[in-house]
Amino acid sequence: MSTSFVNKVVVITGAGLGMGRLLAIGAAQRGARVAIWDIDAVNGESVRAEVGDQARFYQVDVTDKEAVKKAADQVAADFGRVDIIINNAGVVSGRPLSELTDEQIERTLGVNTLSLFWVTRAFLPYLRKRSRAKIVTTASAAGLIAPASMTDYSASKFAAVGFMDALRAELTRDHKENGAADISTLTVTPYYISTGMFDGVTTKFPALLPILSPEYAVKRILRFIECDRQRLMMPRFIVLTALAKLSPPIVSDHVLNFLGLNHAMDNFQGRQGKVEK
């Protein structure tokens, strides 16, 4: 079974920059109407102008559950329906635990994890009104493996992966056992993407673990939505790296060290705390 974007209403969080911007443009090019969510009004309005009449911009702090609920209701009222939500907003600190402030830790968990609960829960009643709908979350390969200098980020992304796994089980059970709407999920776990969010990161083996271009990543995400796939790992080598976590720590730690993952953030200069993907 496949999913067409034509005439669908797609909500994208963190859509003012990077991958969110490209997802909004790509969805609109495929025939969707797009609700652009971002905390930055200037960036959000800029993307809305790029997309054109198919889009509306909503200034939303995804960590504010009351604001999220209000904006979700407004989107449903403006568009008349909601078919696909893409949880794309994210932040990174890129510092060892001893250097992280309380505010950075809380911000990372708020944007990368808690917002998934607020956004998804706010839109569920509207998604359930459709015969078929989709929930997409951009997690991270750091939600499968946990390198150094990523304690808050990896914790938030491991939680995102777990959230989506449990949500998929709930939605599948409700559809099969209770006749609820067919709401499918897609969990995306990419390696580093060159949007500016991870400027300065390095990769020891670019042939195996390349730093991905946002254009490539977005093309794959949109394609996986259309094909109704449930999991997207980029690049494919991430699958083998993630399997190393099933080994004893002495083995998995050696693998991460050999691949250079524990030093990938040594020269990190990305946009710390900037809400985007």
User: Where in the sequence numbering do the catalytic residues fall?
Assistant: 153
User: CB neighbours of 254 closer than 8 A, spacing ≥ 6?
Assistant: none
Chain center to CA of 206: 23
- Position 59, amino acid: Q
The CA distance from 89 to 273, in Å, is 11
The pair of structure tokens assigned to 32 is 């969707």
Structure tokens at 52: 């054109």
In 39-156, DSSP assigns E strands to 55-59, 84-87, 132-138
Q: How far is CA 212 from CA 45, 190, 196, 218, 235, in A?
A: 26, 8, 12, 10, 8
CA distance 48 to 57: 6
Phi and psi at 187, nearest 5°, equal -105, 125
Residue 230 DSSP label: S
**CA 39, CA 91: separation in Å to the nearest integer?**
12
